[in-house]
Structure 1
Amino acid sequence: MLPRLIGDEARGRVVVAHLGHGASLCALAEGRSVATTMRLTTLGGLMMGTRSGTVDPGLVLHLIRSRGMAASDVADLLNQCSGLLGVSGISDDVRVLEASEAPEAREPLDLFAYRIVREAGPLVAALGGLDAFVFTGGIGENAAAIRATVCLGLAFLGLDIDPERNARGRSRIGRDGSAVPVLVVPADEEREIADEARRIIGV
């Protein structure tokens, strides 16, 4: 779908932000992944709905040595009680947080966008520049406010979105003449899994 939207630039230097309950960024060069925020486990990289994202390993040691927590309790804390839920104390759902008037609901949304901006930097460095930025996943496709905040943080790279296009969730949300195209592309994970399964079994 990306080549249909932006032509040859889809084979250039692209950062894809897959934002959902699980979230990650991927740097693509000529359509192939060259860097990612993902780590050995699902805890690495961006903060997520209930996962902490990357933290200082010393934190884990502190919780075990100084707080007396069992390893299983630390694992539960970082996997099930952190991220948007842990910071807000309200919900792991962006829709609930955006609709809430509680002051605690704003901080995790701002932090989530900040972490995306901060993690995008090393990926752009790995690519040596940026030709397109793509939002996908449940949050990436539906949370216009988070897209706007992320693009504002990355404006120095040439991202310039059109507020009306962004509010409507158009496929191309960048302004005409934006140095870097900004796109919203629906995720189709089920089809990708099916295609890979067919490839493996030779159907």
Structure 2
Amino acid sequence: MRLYYSSASPFAAKARMAARHCGIDVESVSVDTSAEPADLLAANPLGKIPALVLDNGTSVYDSRVICDLFDRMSGNQLVPQELDAWRSVKTFEAAADGVGDALILGVYEVRYRPEEKRHPDWVDKQMRKADRGLAFLEDHIADLPDEPTTAHFALAGLLGWMAFRFEGKIERERPKLAQWLKQFPESFPAYGELQPRAA
């Protein structure tokens, strides 16, 4: 199987960590999404990462769907099956992914729009969404199970990405999340290899 990814992407990091945790062998293929390479577009017509191509040529995307597939392939190593625990993990995962979505929209506004066409009010709205989401994550960090789940990998991907895109924000504003990330490699040593990295 091939997993298209970018080293900076929190969502790709999440999927790669999930595969490693489940013992699923994937070939990680680095792509430049802005160049819209043909192999990525064949895997995902949206041109987004991560995108997974199975051995039979079938494609799967985005990170939540890929992780749910890995969960099924591995006999549910990523998501608890008891209803309340499932709800808690999947809701936490969705919040972490949503924070990432909001922050990335703000980054792209600055990166891709000329200064005279930027919308500061819109960027501020995305940051408010992200800040509310981060507050939720910090308030519920103690609810995470001991064994790694999709929620753990979503949070680790997000915080690893924020470490270089929003340097110091987590340490200043969300000390519980900062402490969690500091300790995460103790339970998942491969984080050092698979964490998001500035491109």
Q: TM-score, normalised by structure 1?
A: 0.31
Mark the structure with the bigger radius of gyration: 1
Normalization by structure 2: what TM-score? 0.31
Higher relative CO (Cα under 8 Å, sequence separation at least 6) belongs to 2
Q: Going by fraction, where is strand more abundant, 1 or 2?
A: 1
